[in-house]
Amino acid sequence: MPASQHEDCIFCKIARGDIPCTSVFESEELIAFLDISPVNKGHTLLVPKAHMETLFDMPAGIGEMLFAAMKQVGSAVMKATGAEGLNVVQNNYSAAGQQVPHVHWHLIPRFADDGYTAWPQGAYQDMQEMAALADAIREKL
Ligand code: 5GP
Ligand code: ZN
């Protein structure tokens, strides 16, 4: 097992071929395969082969390669499914819906009539609350 992988992680097991997947793309660093429970058929997961739990554990240099694969695989998913749109979703930590603690990107083909809606959106009390939160975020950069 490569040192960068975890013994018991399901996506590490898929990356090293210990359990099967329906692969659509593979490079030295990445693998993409169909999600077993798709939002829409063709829903694909793009996964770094090295074990990293979340976005925040990833090295900076990986971005360009990851983005290129996201575009290449995302475009192929759209063409193959005839999708009219594509959601790219990435969940960090269980509070945000992350079920598999090995970082991955969902490439979800979308159709104008598929009936799915985005999260409900709220409102700020006033502009001061909004500005104070922006200040707090800037201070943490
Ligand atoms: P998360 O909720 O962590 O962002 O997404 C995990 C995704 O992995 C889910 O959409 C789930 O359906 C998918 N998944 C979980 N286990 C397996 C598996 O063994 N094989 C495949 N192909 N997908 C899986
Ligand atoms: Zn892993």
CA 89 to ligand 1: nearest atom: 4
What is the predicted pLDDT for the residue at 101?
98
- Is the pLDDT at 118 greater than 90? The verdict is no
- Is the pLDDT at 1 greater than 90? The verdict is no
User: Which two structure tokens, joined as six digits, stand for 75?
Assistant: 């475009």
Residue 136 CA to ligand 1 centre (angstroms)? 34
Instruction: Give the domain ranges of the chain.
Output: 3-113
The average pLDDT across 118-122 equals 90
Burial of 42 (0-12, 13-18, 19+ CB in 10 A): buried
What is the predicted pLDDT for the residue at 3?
83
User: Mind listing the pLDDT tens digit for each residue in 4-42?
Assistant: 889 999 999 999 999 999 999 999 999 999 999 999 999
Q: Is 104 a catalytic residue?
A: yes
**Using CA positions, which residue lies closest to atom 20 of ligand 1?**
36
Percent of the chain scoring above 90 in pLDDT: 93
Percent of the chain scoring above 70 in pLDDT: 100
What is the predicted pLDDT for the residue at 26?
97
Query: Is the whole-model pTM more than 0.85?
Result: yes
Is 3-113 a domain of CATH 3.30.428.10?
yes
| CA 9 – CA 27 distance, rounded (Å) | 20
User: Mind listing the pLDDT tens digit for each residue in 48-100?
Assistant: 999 999 999 999 899 999 999 999 999 999 999 999 999 999 999 999 999 99
Write down the catalytic residue from 43, 51, 102, 104.
104
3-state secondary structure the chain: CCCCCCCCCHHHHHHCCCCCCCEEEECCCEEEEECCCCCCCCCEEEEECCCCCCHHHCCHHHHHHHHHHHHHHHHHHHHHHCCCEEEEECCCCHHHCCCCCCCCEEEEEECCCCCCCCCCCCCCCCHHHHHHHHHHHHHCC
